[in-house]
Amino acid sequence: MIELAIFRTGGVEIAPSSFLSAGSSEKAYAPVWSALLRTSEGNILFDTGLHPIHIDRPDATFGPSALKVVMAREDAIVARLATLGVRPEDVSVVVNSHLHFDHAGNNGAFPKATFVVQADHLAFAKGKPNFPGVYWDIPELTYLPTTGRARVAPGVEVVPTPGHAPGHQSLVVDLAEAGRVVLSGDAAFTRENLERGEIRQPDETAAKESLALIRSLVGDDLDRIFVSHDAAAFARWRHAPEWYR
Ligand SMILES: [Zn+2]
């Protein structure tokens, strides 16, 4: 049986127009989150969140920019996992949707894990300033470059959803009680992206196809899609220490 817990690892203040052209240009709060899956083959972590350096230094990664990090001490992923009785060494697999600093910020905290990332994403992100390698391009870490859809554990599968970046991937989880859910990563920032089939991305053609793919994976039931940065949607979900089963 798979159990899924979702927890905030911080947040950002960002203009909704960054997510959807029709959105407001006034900055608003958007959560950043990760998920832990307990499976028959061990603990799987989806995304590693923001690095705790941002608690005291919100500008630590990019300096003053269009995006302001908001992070509390309790948001640090190791602290969040501890409240679930999980130590970093208890995590056997990490799936990164992609390697931006709010999704891979704590990869270095999991040197015992295998990191599942699409091969073309690893190649794309390497050396790029907007994918700061300090958080993920670390010699001790074990990356498993993956190509296409791939099973991570029984009932857990990565599915490529490019558009935000080449090789971006989402996680499909088949739960016994809740049914199939998708953790979209930045393939869908907000529920409105899914509803409208529109999103602001570097490759909007690929991104629209990815939105359609994600919807089709759950039979258009948008309540089964956990989008990456939607405060209103996030507030409606169950949060750790509650579990989806
Ligand atoms: Zn991103």
Span 90-124, pLDDT tens digits: 999 999 999 999 999 999 999 999 999 999 999 99
Q: How far apart are CA 149 and CA 53, in angstroms?
A: 34
Tell how far the Cα of 51 is from the centroid of ligand 1, in angstroms. 15
Residue 155 located in a structural domain: yes
Residue with tokens 């993956």: 146
* Ligand 1 center–CA 177 separation, angstroms: 30
**What spacing in Å lies between the alpha carbon of 98 and ligand 1's midpoint?**
7
Q: Ligand 1: distance of its center to the CA of 232 in Å?
A: 19
In this structure, what DSSP letter does residue 24 have? Answer: -
If you compute the radius of gyration of the chain from its CA atoms, what whole number of angstroms results? 16
| 164 CA distance to ligand 1 middle (Å) | 7
Report CA 224 to chain centroid distance, whole Å: 15
Q: Give domain status of residue 100, yes or no.
A: yes
Cα 144 to Cα 215: distance, rounded to the nearest angstrom:
27
3-state class of 20 per DSSP? Answer: coil
Phi, psi of 34 (to 5 degrees): -130, 170
The alpha carbon of 41 and the centre of ligand 1 are apart by a number of angstroms equal to 28
Round to whole Å and give the CA distance between 152 and 163.
Answer: 22
Cα–Cα distance measured from residue 188 to residue 168, given in angstroms and rounded to the nearest whole number: 11
- Phi, psi (5° rounding) for residue 94? -115, 130
In a domain, 243, yes or no: no
Span from the CA of 216 to the centroid of ligand 1 (angstroms) = 22
pLDDT in tens, 142-157: 999 999 999 999 999 9
- For the chain, how far is it from start to end, CA to CA, in angstroms? 8
Structural domain tally of the chain?
1
Q: What separation in Å is there between the alpha carbon of 67 and the centre of ligand 1?
A: 12
Q: Is residue 108 part of a domain?
A: yes
148: left (phi over 0), alpha (psi -120 to 50) or beta: left
Torsion of CA 142, 144, 145, 151, to 10 degrees: -160
Would strands 91-95 and 42-46 be described as parallel, antiparallel, or unpaired?
A: parallel
Separation of 137 CA from ligand 1 center, angstroms? 16
> Any idea what the CATH number is for the domain that residue 146 is in?
3.60.15.10
Q: Is residue 168 a part of any domain in this protein? A: yes
The overall pTM is greater than 0.85? yes
pLDDT of res. 107: 98
Burial of 87 (0-12, 13-18, 19+ CB in 10 A): exposed
Mean pLDDT of 65-88: 95
**66 belongs to a structural domain:** yes
Domain assignment present for residue 82? The answer is yes
Residue 136 confidence (pLDDT): 98
In a domain, 242, yes or no: no
Which domain covers residue 17, as residue numbers?
A: 3-236
